[in-house]
Amino acid sequence: MKQKEKVIIETAIKLFAKKGYNSTSVQEIAKECQISKGAFYIYFKSKEALLLSVLHYYYDKVFTRIQKIRTENDDPRDAYHKQLIVFFENILEHKEFLKMQFMERPLPVNEEIEAFAKKMRSTTLRLHIENIQNIYGKEIEPYSAELCFMINGMSEVYLELMILLHHSFDLHLLADHMLNSLDDLARGMMKRKEKLLISLEKADKWFGPFYTFDPLKEALINEMRIKADKQFGGAPPTDLTESLDILEDELKKRKPRNAVIKGMLFNLKEYETLQKEADRLARMVKKDNRNSG
């Protein structure tokens, strides 16, 4: 993203939060950014296009931090606790903008914005499902969709209290409370062998797909992409990006080819900044092969 685009997006977030989307004009945004209205349209073809970029900017900011936590924490419960705190922190950082979305109608709806909303919902639910399965193991899998919707419902209630009703909570204590509640729900369901209302298959059909790929492997590859972009100023060498693409495609297969994976990891290890993630991926693949054997 170009620096000027980022300035326009961050300015728009402030103005939308203060005045509302519908009451903020392109001219006001341009004036606040100290550019002409014509210059605005060099970067964004319309105010709707800017709104979509604002939403993607917010999404990338939140989930890049969450993915980084996945790659840096081996304990799944500790990782989930930190992810919940980051999730709430980022939402509260932009609470006035989000409050505008709750309160102001009608906001523009088009195919791109609908697709973004679906992506955001799917990614959030996937975050919960993956963590639930990582914490409680194989036994919890049949109940993971229902637990996901329960924890997501809890999140929405607390966010409504904080954003719309201006209540405050210690986010560390809130994450503790949610995980303790999740413990009670998960253990109770497994003990009772509870009859499901929503199976994982139904949830995957309605909101997924959730399980195309091991989430930690995906997070490590995403972290390598971020590091590569940063190292090479947004234009990494072709052999690097191709190696990442081939590796990701191979790992998504039901029966990945080890020779291809080893070859791509060997290529990536040539870049010093990516060695940590490549080594960890190699250990995970080796462990998977040993377990399957």
151 and 82 within one domain:
yes
What distance lies between CA 91 and its chain's CA centroid?
Answer: 12
Contact 69, 82 (CB under 8 A): yes
Looking at per-residue pLDDT, the higher value among 98 and 20 belongs to: 20
Instruction: Give the pLDDT band (50/70/90) at residue 106.
Output: low
Contact 55, 12 (CB under 8 A): no
Q: Is residue 15 part of a domain?
A: no
CB atoms within 10 A of CB 156: 11
Distances (CA, A) of 145 to 32, 73, 152, 206, 208: 45, 24, 10, 11, 11
Q: Is residue 138 part of a domain?
A: yes
Contact 219, 71 (CB under 8 A): yes
101 and 156 within one domain:
yes
185 and 224 within one domain:
no
At 12, list the tokens: 């728009």
Q: How far apart are CA 24 and CA 104, in angstroms?
A: 12
189 and 230 within one domain:
no
Kindly state the average pLDDT of the residues 86-91: 91
Residue 35, SS3 per DSSP: coil
Q: Which residues contact 254 (CB under 8 A, 6 or more apart)?
A: none
3-state SS string over 99-148?
HHHHHCCCCCCCHHHHHHHHHHHHHHHHHHHHHHHHHHCHHHHHHHHHHH
170 and 86 within one domain:
yes
Q: How far apart are CA 125 and CA 217, in angstroms?
A: 18
State which of 145, 172, 207 marks the end of a domain. 207
CA atoms within 13 A on the CB side of 106: 3
273 and 187 within one domain:
no
Q: So what's the pLDDT on residue 107?
A: 65
Q: Is residue 42 part of a domain?
A: no
pTM tops 0.75:
no
Q: Is residue 24 part of a domain?
A: no
Q: How far apart are CA 252 and CA 261, in angstroms?
A: 11
State which of 157, 185, 207 marks the end of a domain. 207
Q: In what helix (H) or strand (E) does residue 158 lie, and over which residues does it extend?
A: helix 144-163
Q: Is residue 35 part of a domain?
A: no
Residue indicated by tokens 């992409």 = 225
State which of 156, 187, 207 marks the end of a domain. 207
Structural domain count, the chain: 2
| Count of residues in the chain | 293
Instruction: Give the pLDDT band (50/70/90) at residue 102.
Output: low
- In Å, the largest CA–CA distance within the chain is 65
Torsional class of 137: left (φ above 0), alpha (ψ -120 to 50), beta (otherwise): left
203 and 102 within one domain:
yes
Q: Is residue 229 part of a domain?
A: yes
Contact 221, 195 (CB under 8 A): no
Q: So what's the pLDDT on residue 204?
A: 85
Q: Is residue 20 part of a domain?
A: no
User: In 3D, which of 32, 204, 219 has the Cα closest to residue 122?
Assistant: 204
List, for residues 243-280, the tens digit of each pLDDT value: 999 999 888 776 789 999 999 999 999 999 999 999 99
Is the per-residue pLDDT at 108 higher than 60?
Answer: yes
202 and 76 within one domain:
yes
List, for residues 2-44, the tens digit of each pLDDT value: 788 999 999 998 998 888 888 899 999 999 999 999 999 999 9
| Structural domain span for residue 231 | 215-292
Q: How far apart are CA 155 and CA 84, in angstroms?
A: 9
Range with lowest mean pLDDT among 51-60, 196-205, 213-222: 213-222
Q: Is residue 222 part of a domain?
A: yes
